[in-house]
Amino acid sequence: MPCLKPAELRFVHDHLTRWLWQYLFPLQFTLGVLGNILNLCVLASDETSNVASDLLTAVSFCDLAFLLVMLPHALSSYDILAFNDVFRFFYLKSKQHIAAIANWMSAAAIWLILAVSVERFLIIRSPLRSKLYWQRGRMVLVLSSIFFATGLLTLYHHFEYDCTLMEFCNGSQLIDFCYYAGEKHPRTFLKKELILPSEAKKLYMRIMTIFNAVLVVFAPILLVIILNMLMIRELHFNDKSILKFRESITTNQHRQRSRVTVTVIAIGLCFSLTQGPSAVMVIWELFAGYAHLGSTFYAIFR
């Protein structure tokens, strides 16, 4: 096999994606790790245990895991590692599974945020609920169910692409060729032999992509927005009830309810904005297919 040029061996080819990985991601990684560790310390030291704190602890764990598994992708953008034989072999063999775990942690965090929103709404409806703490068995069951369900939803990412490793330059250069596993594709660009996936596999990949779009992206965004609207409505309803029976609301009550309302709106807005790009990516996958995705688009929105 002929020898490849250094540019052909790079994992990240365009300048924008390389800049994002080399300069923006380290800042995001540092702030994310420190912030989530701080969250875990605060939540763990909270003397008053409650359901929301347990769920938020799980969210912080998912965020930490997500950032850690994304680290190899960022490191692959540096030439010193991209051209290293040991790192290159490890990364080419594991990058699809690393991406699958990242998608799993992201999906679990989304469902956990939805669970927090549900819990907040129930507390607003029944304030005495905040005094209750779920049994340990129920906590384990809920958290395990969320991780198990999201793991099943994102399982197909582990074999979403068929990848073949090839050696060039007398075995001194290693490169992979990946094609979407749900469609017929060549084994490598050098071989015209086509791999034809079974009808069952194509159907499974298509169904799981749709399920992933609905249950991991669209439904959580919609439900969080609806829950936030209901919480705001409930807060205003409670204010009117207090006015009816007490004739006035204290300044502290007004301030507290205003802060809660602003927090609720901020949560819904931030959640929708951060998950919106994922929705764009999923729509693109469903209707345009994988072959039309550019590497920059994929790196930004995935």
Of the listed ranges 70-84, 203-217, 236-250, 260-274, the one predicted with least confidence: 236-250
Domain of 100, CATH number, reads: 1.20.1070.10
Mean pLDDT score across all residues of the chain: 79
Domain assignment present for residue 105? The answer is yes
> Dihedral of the CA atoms 242, 244, 248, 253 (nearest 10)?
10
Is the pTM of the predicted complex or chain greater than 0.85? no
Half-sphere exposure of 156 (CA within 13 A, CB side): 18
76 in a domain, yes or no?
Answer: yes
pLDDT digit string (tens) for 267-284? 666 766 766 666 666 666
**Is 1 a member of any domain?**
no
Task: Indicate whether 55 belongs to any domain.
Answer: yes
Range 52-78 average pLDDT: 90
The range of the structural domain enclosing residue 164 comes to: 6-288
**Residue 300: inside a domain, yes or no?**
no
Amino acid residing at 265: I
Please state which of the ranges 200-209, 244-253, 281-290 shows the lowest mean pLDDT: 244-253
Whole-angstrom CA distances from 30 to 21, 24, 65 are 13, 10, 13
- Residues 157/99, Cβ–Cβ less than 8 Å: yes
Strand partners, 188: 191
- CA-closest candidate to residue 224, choices 116, 146, 302, 144: 116
Question: What's the pLDDT at 291?
Answer: 47
pLDDT digits (tens, 9 = 90+) for 32-51: 999 989 988 887 776 656 77
Higher pLDDT, 108 or 261: 108
Total domains, the chain = 1
pLDDT digits (tens, 9 = 90+) for 291-302: 444 443 333 333
Q: Are 134 and 72 in contact (CB under 8 A)?
A: no
3-state helix, strand, coil in the chain (%, to 5): 75, 10, 20
Is residue 298 in some structural domain?
no
Q: What is the pLDDT of residues 187-221, one digit of tens each?
A: 776 767 788 888 898 899 888 888 888 888 888 88
294 lies in some domain = no
Mean pLDDT, to the nearest integer, of 177-190? Answer: 80
Contacts of 21 (CB under 8 A, 6+ apart): 12, 73, 74, 76, 77, 299
pLDDT for 77 beyond 90: yes
Radius of gyration of the chain from Cα atoms? 24
Which of 161-165, 189-193, 244-248 tops mean pLDDT? 161-165
Asked if the structure places residue 88 within a domain, the reply is yes
> pLDDT value at position 247?
46
- Mind listing the pLDDT tens digit for each residue in 222-235? 888 888 788 777 76
The reported pLDDT for the residue numbered 248 is 46
Give the 3-state secondary structure of 153-197. Answer: HCHHHHHCEEEEEEEECCCCEEEEEEEECCCCEEEECCEEEEECC
Q: C-alpha distances in angstroms, 238 versus 66, 127, 131, 208, 255?
A: 39, 11, 19, 42, 14
pLDDT single digits (tens) 91-150: 999 999 999 999 999 899 889 988 888 887 777 776 655 555 566 778 888 899 999 999
Q: What are phi and psi for residue 54, nearest 5 degrees?
A: -65, -45
More confident residue, 58 or 270: 58
